[in-house]
A and B are shown apart, each in its own frame.
Chain A
Amino acid sequence: MKPSGFTYYRPETVEEALGVLAEVGPDGKVIAGGQSLVPMMNMRLAAPGCLVDINRVSGLDFARVDGVRGAAGDGHAVVRVGATARHADVERNAAIRAAVPLLGQALTHVAHPTIRNRGTSVGSLVHADPAGELTAVLALLGGSVELRSVRGTRTVGADDFFVDLLESCVEPDELATAAMFPASDGHTGSAWVEVARRNGDYAVCGVGALVTVDDDMRITDARTAYVSVGPRPVVLDASGVVGDVTLDNADWGATGRWAAGQLEPGEDIHATAEYRRHLAGVLTQRALRAAAGRAAGHRTGGSSGGNGTTGETAAARDHAGRGEG
């Protein structure tokens, strides 16, 4: 398990990087964190002739909140994450967690902390693994990715960005320089729930949810996004199914069953398609309920953010683990 040889480039500016990418063409591959690429190279499932290391490219390691409400004109804040920002940089950034809680909620499920120390958020989007939490987060938030090449700069929305299994729309000569995750309005709650075989594994199924309420606690928007149920992240708009009701009257169970019916998950060694569909329904319900709870919290001034896991298992372990027998 040793990689094939390659020519190594280490540009120090974006322009230099774009120049190299234009020159090496399809034989080139960008490396930032390397947490997905290097395993494939070690197994010789990937053998790029040229590796362009962007870790020294200046100005790409940012993770920040731009356009704070009202200041940017559109009334929405946007989290901007540069190409060399690590998952851990995003996860630990308090301003980001406050602006887009879903990012923090989902990132705690991305592998293990050691991987998040090195893996980059933009890199995981470009890798386009439909089991990768950030793909669904970007899709659910309606985010976008900034792509630059010597030909110019373009910004691609999540819808167009994810093309197929492990395939994003990034052209060989392009560098994904940043990802944008727009914040939802203040009446929105979010949650991420997933079931993985082991802690830190790719999810058997993972669901992100956003629920928005108006001043009267009526649900104005309810959306979910999924990982591991198809070749691309899937987003469902459940607003119509939930209906024009207040939070107290929402039938999340029915919404979950509806969502399960909308999905076409596949089978692998860890789960059948049928189980995955069932799980998607259960987790949809849990995610929406948790997100709704947080939306209500926003309205009543309660605490927001926090961890999106359901936490039942840990609580149960505690419950039985002490003083029994």
Chain B
Amino acid sequence: MLVEVRDEAGNMVNDASGGERLHEVSMVVNGVHRSAAVPARRLLSDFLRHDLGLTGTHVGCEHGVCGACTVLLGGRPIRACLQFAVMHDGAEITTVEGCARQDGELGTVQQAFRDCHGLQCGFCTPGFVTTITAYLEENPSPTEEEAREAIAGNLCRCTGYQNIVASVLRAAELRATEPRTMEPRTSEPGTTVLRAAGEAEVSP
């Protein structure tokens, strides 16, 4: 039974909102004020990826187990697939894009992954990078066993985790030698005043 919904001119009908009430949601993402109007049910993961265009945050299961969508909320890792964007209006979020250095070079954890071959397909990697970035803030010099525990809530199907464990230890090492310049980015160059939540939108 063919159904193709067209208007009188024969064009495809495209009601982007799906008729739902939209909520204006503003966040400071990687130090930049971002905002978009979305339905209440828009998951934070989809908001970041599709409304803000930050596709570095990946979606692997949408039931909170795999950890690919892990982002930092006020510095703490959370699963973006288990949150509605509207709940975090006004929040400060860091994604994998924000874990790079201000000059665009690899951040500490990212560099460690490269040094240790801590990634293969790269799909789970953003969740590991954010998780480890937060973890090292709390425990800057983990043992190997602690490093393994630290990543125990994220699934990877490629690496067998061994090189990710090594990456955690390597990141701790890099962090210890370059603590200042390697910190995760909290503000974008050129961004001076952040708008308060609810003010005029900055288009994504």
Contacts and interface: CB of A to CB of B under 8 A. Distances in A.
> Is chain B in direct contact with chain A in the complex (CB below 8 A)?
yes
Contacts of B76: 88, 117
Nearest to B39: A5
B20 interface: yes
B136 interface: no
B79 A199 contact: no
B63 A114 contact: no
A231 B62 CA distance: 26
Nearest to A86: B76
A35 B82 contact: yes
Interface in B130-153: 131, 145, 152-153
A5 B64 contact: no
Nearest to B67: A114
Nearest to A112: B153
B153 A114 contact: yes
Given A43-B63, A115-B153, A200-B152, A38 B82 contact: yes
Nearest to A3: B41
B77 interface: yes
Contact of B78 (A3, A4, A114): A114
B131 to A, nearest CB: 6
Given A2-B43, A35-B82, A112-B153, A53 B77 contact: no
Interface string A288-325: 00000000000000000000000000100000000000
Interface in A25-55: 31, 34-35, 38-39, 42-43, 51, 53, 55
A8 B23 contact: yes
B70 interface: yes
B64 A38 contact: yes
Interface string B77-119: 1110111101100000000000000000000000000000000
A114 B41 contact: no
B37 interface: no
B54 interface: no
A4 B41 contact: yes
A44 to B, nearest CB: 11
A3 B46 CA distance: 12
A1 B61 CA distance: 9
A42 B81 contact: yes
B64 A53 contact: no
B36 to A, nearest CB: 15
A113 B77 contact: yes
A39 B61 CA distance: 10
B20 A5 contact: yes
Contacts of A113: 77, 153
Interface string A191-229: 000000001100000000000000000000000000000
B44 to A, nearest CB: 10
B174 interface: no
Contacts of A5: 20, 39-41
Given A1-B62, A38-B82, A117-B76, A7 B67 contact: no
A115 B154 CA distance: 11
A8 B153 contact: no
A111 interface: yes
Interface of B: 20-21, 23, 39-41, 43, 46, 62-64, 67, 70, 73, 76-79, 81-84, 86-87, 131, 145, 152-153
Given A3-B43, A34-B83, A38-B64, 11 more contacts: A1-B62, A5-B20, A5-B39, A6-B40, A53-B84, A112-B152, A114-B77, A114-B131, A114-B153, A117-B78, A118-B78
19 contacts: A1-B63, A2-B43, A8-B84, A10-B86, A10-B87, A31-B84, A35-B82, A38-B81, A38-B82, A38-B84, A39-B64, A42-B81, A43-B63, A112-B153, A114-B77, A118-B73, A118-B82, A199-B152, A200-B153
Interface of A: 1-8, 10, 31, 34-35, 38-39, 42-43, 51, 53, 55, 88, 111-115, 117-118, 199-200, 314
